[in-house]
A and B are shown apart, each in its own frame.
Chain A
Amino acid sequence: GAVVSQHPSWVICKSGTSVKIECRSLDFQATTMFWYRQFPKQSLMLMATSNEGSKATYEQGVEKDKFLINHASLTLSTLTVTSAHPEDSSFYICSARDKLAGNIENEQFFGPGTRLTVL
């Protein structure tokens, strides 16, 4: 199946700093990428949906100025957590929808996730 990578797999940063997480589709072009956040023992929560070349659509309650999403190419989306605080510590997962998925519903491929710890 299609492969989605994330970098880094884990990161520890100081409060107030910014952290960038990359999501790449390795063997397919992704017109749409999704960013999720997962707190321990909780559900994945969709943060935003990004389409290549356009602004991301954020879910209610997600601060777009804090979580900057850039989807500059068909194979790369980045999530930047700005001025990170301990409450931002979480597991961030991206997924990508194959450009050629056509009518294949839910054909999302998921990255391995990035564990962010803010001290």
Chain B
Amino acid sequence: KQEVTQIPAALSVPEGENLVLNCSFTDSAIYNLQWFRQDPGKGLTSLLLIQSSQREQTSGRLNASLDKSSGRSTLYIAASQPGDSATYLCAVKKGNYQLIWGAGTKLIIKP
């Protein structure tokens, strides 16, 4: 059974710092892995999607890596800003549509 774990559960850092969020999964047979952002009162926003054959994806200040063999993914945020404060979720895809989710990391960027 696929399980997805995110560490840490919460993180608070000063503005401007670079930071790394971690996601691990128990079954390496994934189709892809996706990072989302969840803001209170708003829907989930997809940030980056990494196919199983890829090792990383980049979008602006965000970089996500994938190491299937070790069951790990990281989301790197460069030069953090207060607007980056949100809960970050990772999800792995198995089969057709089903996404298996981590519990998220609540990130607070202090001005």
Contacts and interface: CB of A to CB of B under 8 A. Distances in A.
A67 interface: no
A111 B49 CA distance: 19
Contacts, number: 50
A111 B34 contact: no
Classify the secondary structure of A's interface with B: strand
Q: How large is the interface on A (under 10, 10 to 19, 20 to 34, 35 or more residues)?
A: 20 to 34
A42 B103 contact: yes
Classify the secondary structure of B's interface with A: strand
B32 A105 contact: yes
Contacts of B49: 105-106
Contact of B103 (A41, A46, A93, A105): A41
Interface in B50-107: 51, 89, 91, 93, 97-104
Interface string A102-119: 000110111111000000
Interface of B: 4, 9, 31-32, 34, 36, 41-46, 49, 51, 89, 91, 93, 97-104
Interface of A: 4, 9, 32, 34, 41-46, 49, 93, 95, 97, 105-106, 108-113
